[in-house]
Copies of this chain bind each other. A is one copy, B any other.
Amino acid sequence: MTTYKAINLVARPTAGPVGPDLFEVVQKNMPEVSDGKFLVKQSHMSLDPAMFGWMSPDTESYIPPVALGDVMRSSGIGEIVESNHADYKVGDRVMGMMGWQEYFLSDGAGLNKVTAPLPAEAILSVFALPGLTATQGLYSIGKPKEGETIVVSGAAGSVGSIVGQLAKADGLTVIGIVGSDEKADWIVNELGFDGAVNYKTDDLATKLAELTPKGIDVYFENTGGPIQHHVFDRMNAHGRIAVCGMIADYPKETPDLAPNWIPIIKKRLIIQGFTMPDHFGEVPALLAKLTPYVMQGKIKHRAHVLDGLESAMTGLNLFFTGQNKGKLIVKL
């Protein structure tokens, strides 16, 4: 094989669905693996809502946007197929930001070896960005206490499902917001959430009041959308809101406005946003916090696997339609 496939970002998304017109599939020449380098054959790539931020031209975001003409940014997992690096040998599995491409040449910077004997889907679903994000936001901002009530939006998503299970293991009442009865069933009957609101069919105010009779102490926000106002209305004094994602608003030309700030004073709320790149230095501590829950069988996951590199281009839209069931992963 002398060439491999990659997908470059060639246009910026506007409001509405993203599609192949933003991207260009290219053939790249197989690189030479010089001294101190190794070549990874990527087997699985992660699709994440954060990608909409990476594609947008917003220079104020937490990491620079992907430059037009560059390979689209993504994290993934793969196996080393050729090595001239003393610390990495053929057959080692590695994980990191390798982008939308079949092969990745590296000197090791930014990649982590994967030694756990787990399938790639499990690694990307729990120990990669979703689990780290859930752990960071829940504990550093949400500060959950036994007996409290937490509401998680995007509760069947890769981050939300882990947040809810961690909180449940810690003794909180856990309510999830989802977009289908199938997801509601999954988070309640499989993951052990105490209740679910289907934001598409339930009467939001009534259902939420019924499920949170003692009010809401922690809100883990993954979506935005109208439900935000109803949750906000039920926050208890000294409530904490971790703002992790606003997927309902990313595709809108003019994002919806948020609740008025008067209750922030009356209830002394804290609303705090976070993104993982600020906390990459804390990854060992986050993994140390997360791993015992996983080892005790308290964190279940499910992966929604798309087939083939090109499926990434349209697969991203599943975040908007909510049709993904579990962590979106592209199998190469």
Measured CA separation A221–B268 after assembly (Å): 14
The segment out of A186-194, A249-257, A288-296, A324-332 that lies at the interface is A249-257
B224, B266, B272, B273: the one within 8 Å of A266 (CB): B273
Say whether B53 contacts A266, CB under 8 Å: yes
Q: Is A109 an interface residue (CB 8 A)?
A: no
The segment out of A58-66, A124-132, A160-168 that lies at the interface is A58-66
Q: Give the nearest-CB partner of A272 in chain B.
A: B270
> Is chain A's binding surface mostly helix, strand, loop or mixed?
loop
Smallest CB separation, A247 vs chain B (Å)? 10
Interface string of A246-277 (1 = CB under 8 A from B): 10011000011111111111111111111100
Q: Is A245 an interface residue (CB 8 A)?
A: yes
Residues of B within 8 A of A272 (CB): 264, 268-271
**Which residue, of A245, A246, A273, A278, has the highest number of chain B Cβ atoms within 10 A?**
A273
Say whether B260 contacts A260, CB under 8 Å: no
B62, B265, B271: the one within 8 Å of A274 (CB): B265
Say whether A273 contacts B278, CB under 8 Å: no
Say whether B278 contacts A261, CB under 8 Å: no
Say whether B278 contacts A262, CB under 8 Å: no
B261, B262, B265, B275: the one within 8 Å of A265 (CB): B275
Q: Is A40 an interface residue (CB 8 A)?
A: no
Say whether B260 contacts A271, CB under 8 Å: no
Smallest CB separation, A129 vs chain B (Å)? 14
Say whether B262 contacts A246, CB under 8 Å: yes
Contact A270-B271, Cβ < 8 Å, known A259-B257, A262-B249: yes
Measured CA separation A268–B275 after assembly (Å): 7
Say whether A258 contacts B259, CB under 8 Å: yes
Q: Is A196 an interface residue (CB 8 A)?
A: no
Instruction: For chain A, residues 222 to 246, give those with C-beta under 8 angstroms from any C-beta of chain B.
Output: 224, 228, 237, 243-246
Q: Give the nearest-CB partner of A258 in chain B.
A: B258
Residues of B within 8 A of A268 (CB): 62, 272-275, 278
Residues of B within 8 A of A267 (CB): 60, 62, 273
* 27 A–B pairs (Cβ distance < 8 Å), ordered by A: A60-B237, A60-B266, A61-B266, A62-B267, A221-B261, A228-B261, A243-B261, A243-B264, A244-B265, A250-B262, A255-B262, A257-B257, A257-B258, A258-B258, A261-B271, A264-B272, A264-B273, A265-B274, A266-B273, A268-B273, A268-B275, A268-B278, A269-B272, A270-B270, A270-B272, A270-B273, A271-B271
Seen from chain A, the residues whose Cβ lies within 8 Å of a Cβ on chain B are: 53, 58, 60-62, 221, 224, 228, 237, 243-246, 249-250, 255-275, 278
